[in-house]
């Protein structure tokens, strides 16, 4: 019956995973950020990467986009091994990736319209009416068609992030990465971004990776949650599986306990000695 | 990543020179890619060149007027005021035009290049371009570097013209030197190739050096407000020193 298992594994259909990370290891300064991380990002799904501050979530995004090479391990996007790509091949790959920066990173010299049109103008030689229509459609999708003529300095934080989102999807990417998309937003703007991420994922059929802290927002948007801690994947699963997980990591992270596997105290020397008291042993 | 061990101030300065040289090679490698961004280069020439016209023209006029006054006084001691046009034009073409223009350019356009690129770094705009598969070296850095090379000689020529006009104003219109003597002595003793063109070569070199220092400082600045402030200062200090030192070397070779 099980013929497929007996025959040699020749992949005819593309892998179920768009991004595959294997044995990722990174040391920044004297700190080990990743210690053999294995991670799969499923196609067409929203995957949230969570973890305590400083656990390397943003670094992971930088590895995936090739902005930073890891010390060891491989990162495959659609079969291409990112750290080993030439600069040209990396740029070709990035044309198919949208990236939403935490601070939006809009080009301050250009209007909202020109910001969104920027990737089109740089890479494609399209007639102006077509550029205009594509840009206005994307702006309409994020609800800011009326703001096309504003400058970035005139936008609120939530609006700037939506403009950046329109810019990230202007070329219909296969993968969108969101770096802390919910930080610093009021509840209304946060709900708008949550809704946008979900609708974009479902209507465009893209794969989304988002790095976030806000578990309530993540439960509404993510299909799969990965908890990074201590340089490894501490737990993963659907949001509800993680919320009821039994591992000390998930309990501390989702239960919001101040102390646990992630210590409240930053590593330091003996407290009494630091304050100038005689060492505890000598007393 | 760029933090290397820093043994001393001299070592630090040498490391900067080395990094700046490597950066120049990167810019040169990005130049073909920047040909796609002709509009951006034109915009930068406008910004670095046309927007510097007021300060260059004003300073040129006053430098010429001061030269006219001082040299008229010195020449009158020897009874040689007829040579005023010659002396003023030679000092402007050969030295003052290129050098003073370069110093003014560093203060006016170089600082704004550094601050602009530094702030783009600090606000992730350069990273955003990288992520949109646009090479910031080709789109941001190379056009500004080219703009410096194109704008500087043009500005130096305008500076010279205004300087000579200023000297004429003082020497002829005010102090009563003969108009014909002023011009004829100048035209008979100034050589186009040896004096004018050599000065233009100098300003091309100064334009390249000042623009290189400005974009290098901006591109490698730490992404903080303090970092941008220091980088802007370093642009002016380093440009001034390098321009004057390079001027000496080029003068020795072009003599």
Of A99, A106, A107, the CB nearest to B131: A99
Is residue B99 assigned to a domain?
yes
What is the domain extent for residue B141? 9-254
Min CA distance, A3 vs chain B (Å)? 44
pLDDT for residue B92? 95
Mean pLDDT of B194-218: 95
Is residue A65 assigned to a domain?
yes
pLDDT for residue A256? 67
How many CB atoms within 10 Å of residue A13? Answer: 5
Dihedral sign of CA atoms B190, B191, B192, B197 in order: negative
Is residue A255 assigned to a domain?
yes
Does the beta-carbon distance from A67 to B128 stay under 8 Å? no
Is residue B4 assigned to a domain?
no
pLDDT tens per residue across span A224-239 = 999 888 888 888 888 8
For residue B60, pLDDT beyond 90: yes
What is the domain extent for residue A238? 15-96+174-181+207-259
Q: How far is CA A276 from CA A266, A268, A281, B117, B135, in A?
A: 19, 15, 14, 48, 55
pTM over 0.90: no
CA-based nearest residue in chain A for residue B138: A122
* Cβ–Cβ contact B135 with A under 8 A: yes
pLDDT for residue A240? 84
Does the beta-carbon distance from B133 to A94 stay under 8 Å? yes
pLDDT for residue B227? 92
Mean pLDDT of B132-150: 94
pLDDT for residue A5? 46
CA-based nearest residue in chain A for residue B34: A122
Of A94, A103, A122, the CB nearest to B123: A103
* Cβ–Cβ contact B47 with A under 8 A: no
Q: How many CA atoms lie within 13 A of A192 on its CB side?
A: 17
Does the beta-carbon distance from B135 to A122 stay under 8 Å? no
pLDDT tens per residue across span B63-98 = 999 999 999 999 999 999 999 999 999 999 999 999
pLDDT tens per residue across span B13-22 = 899 899 999 9
pLDDT for residue B2? 52
Which H or E run includes B232?
A: helix B225-254
CA distance linking residue B144 with residue A172, whole number of Å:
32
pLDDT tens per residue across span A180-192 = 888 878 888 888 8
pLDDT tens per residue across span B36-53 = 889 999 999 999 999 999
Pairing relationship of beta strands A80-81 and A72-77 according to DSSP bridges: antiparallel
Residues of chain A with a CB closer than 8 angstroms to some CB in chain B = 65, 67, 91-92, 94-95, 97, 99, 101, 103, 105-108, 118-119, 122-123, 167
Is residue A281 assigned to a domain?
no
Instruction: For residue A234, give the 3-state DSSP assignment.
Output: strand
* Cβ–Cβ contact B91 with A under 8 A: no
Residue of A86, A122, A125, A172 to mutate when probing chain B, most B C-beta within 10 A: A122
How many CB atoms within 10 Å of residue B118? Answer: 27
Is residue A9 assigned to a domain?
no
Is residue A144 assigned to a domain?
no
Of B124, B132, B135, the CB nearest to A118: B132
Domain count for chain A: 1
- Given strand A80-81, what is the order of strands in its sheet? A31-42, A17-28, A72-77, A80-81
Residues 6 or more apart from A115 whose CB is under 8 A from it? Answer: A106, A107, A152, A163, A164, A167
pLDDT for residue A281? 53
Mean pLDDT of B136-142: 94
Does the beta-carbon distance from A122 to B128 stay under 8 Å? no
In order along its 283 residues, chain A shows pLDDT tens digits of: 444 444 445 555 567 889 999 988 888 888 888 888 898 999 999 999 988 877 888 889 999 999 888 898 899 998 889 989 998 999 999 999 999 998 889 999 999 999 999 999 999 989 999 999 999 999 998 889 999 999 999 998 889 999 999 999 999 999 999 998 888 788 888 888 899 899 888 888 899 999 988 888 888 899 999 988 888 888 888 888 887 777 777 777 776 677 777 677 777 888 888 888 876 555 4
Min CA distance, A228 vs chain B (Å)? 24
Work out the burial of residue A162: count CB atoms within 10 Å of its CB; fewer than 13 is exposed, 13-18 middle, 19 or more buried.
buried
Q: Is A174 in contact with A77 (CB distance < 8 Å)?
A: no
Is residue B124 assigned to a domain?
yes
CA-based nearest residue in chain B for residue A176: B131
CATH value at residue A30: 3.40.50.300
Min CA distance, A19 vs chain B (Å)? 17
Is residue A38 assigned to a domain?
yes
Q: Is A60 in contact with A49 (CB distance < 8 Å)?
A: yes
Domain count for chain B: 1
Does the beta-carbon distance from A122 to B133 stay under 8 Å? yes
Which residues of chain B have a CB within 8 Å of the CB of A153? none
ipTM for the complex shown:
0.81
């Amino acid at each position: 019956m099980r013929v497929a298992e007996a025959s040699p594994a020749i992949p005819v259909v593309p892998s179920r995973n768009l991004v595959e990370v294997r044995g990722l290891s990174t040391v920044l300064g004297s700190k080990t950020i990743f210690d053999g991380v294995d991670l799969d990002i499923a196609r067409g799904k929203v995957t949230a990467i969570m973890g305590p501050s400083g656990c390397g979530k943003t670094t992971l995004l930088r590895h995936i986009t090739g902005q930073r090479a890891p010390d060891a391990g491989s990162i495959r996007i659609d079969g291409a091994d990112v750290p080993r790509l030439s600069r040209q091949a990396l740029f070709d790959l990035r044309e198919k990736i949208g990236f939403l920066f935490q601070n939006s990173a809009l080009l301050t010299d250009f209007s909202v319209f020109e910001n969104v049109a920027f990737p089109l103008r740089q890479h494609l030689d399209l007639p102006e009416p077509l550029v205009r229509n594509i840009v206005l459609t994307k702006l309409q999708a994020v609800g800011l068609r009326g703001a096309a003529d504003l400058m970035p300095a005139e936008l609120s934080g939530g609006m700037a992030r939506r403009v950046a989102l329109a810019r990230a999807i202007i070329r219909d990417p296969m993968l969108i990465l969101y770096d802390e998309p919910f930080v610093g937003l009021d509840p209304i703007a946060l709900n708008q971004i949550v809704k946008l991420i979900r609708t974009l994922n479902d209507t465009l059929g893209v794969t989304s990776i988002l790095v976030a802290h806000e578990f309530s927002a993540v439960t509404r948007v993510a299909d799969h949650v990965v908890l990074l801690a201590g340089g490894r994947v501490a737990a993963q699963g659907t949001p509800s599986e993680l919320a009821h997980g039994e591992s000390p990591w998930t309990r501390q992270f989702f239960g919001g306990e101040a102390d646990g596997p992630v210590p409240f105290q930053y590593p330091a020397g003996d407290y009494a000695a630091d304050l100038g008291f005689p060492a505890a042993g000598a007393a | 990543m760029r933090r290397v061990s820093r043994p001393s101030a001299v070592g630090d300065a040498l490391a900067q020179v080395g990094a700046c040289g490597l950066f120049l090679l990167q810019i040169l490698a990005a130049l073909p890619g920047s040909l796609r961004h002709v509009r951006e280069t034109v915009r930068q020439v406008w910004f670095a060149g046309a927007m510097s016209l007021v300060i260059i023209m004003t300073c040129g006029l006053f430098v010429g007027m001061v030269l006219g006054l001082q040299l008229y006084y010195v020449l009158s001691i020897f009874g040689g005021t007829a040579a005023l046009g010659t002396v003023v034009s030679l000092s402007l073409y050969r030295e003052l035009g290129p050098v003073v223009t370069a110093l003014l350019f560093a203060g006016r356009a170089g600082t704004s290049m550094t601050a602009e690129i530094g702030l783009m770094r600090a606000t992730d705009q350069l990273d955003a371009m990288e992520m949109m598969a646009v090479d910031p070296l080709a789109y941001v850095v190379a056009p500004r570097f080219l703009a410096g090379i194109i704008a500087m000689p043009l500005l130096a020529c305008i500076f010279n013209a205004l300087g000579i006009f200023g000297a004429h104003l003082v020497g002829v219109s005010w102090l009563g030197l003969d108009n014909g003597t002023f011009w004829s002595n100048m035209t008979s003793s100034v050589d186009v190739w040896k004096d004018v063109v050599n000065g233009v070569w100098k300003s091309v070199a100064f334009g390249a050096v000042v623009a290189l220092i400005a974009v290098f400082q901006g591109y490698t600045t730490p992404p903080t407000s303090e970092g941008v402030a220091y980088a802007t200062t370093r642009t002016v200090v380093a440009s001034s020193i390098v321009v004057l030192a390079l001027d000496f070397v080029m003068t020795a070779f072009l003599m």
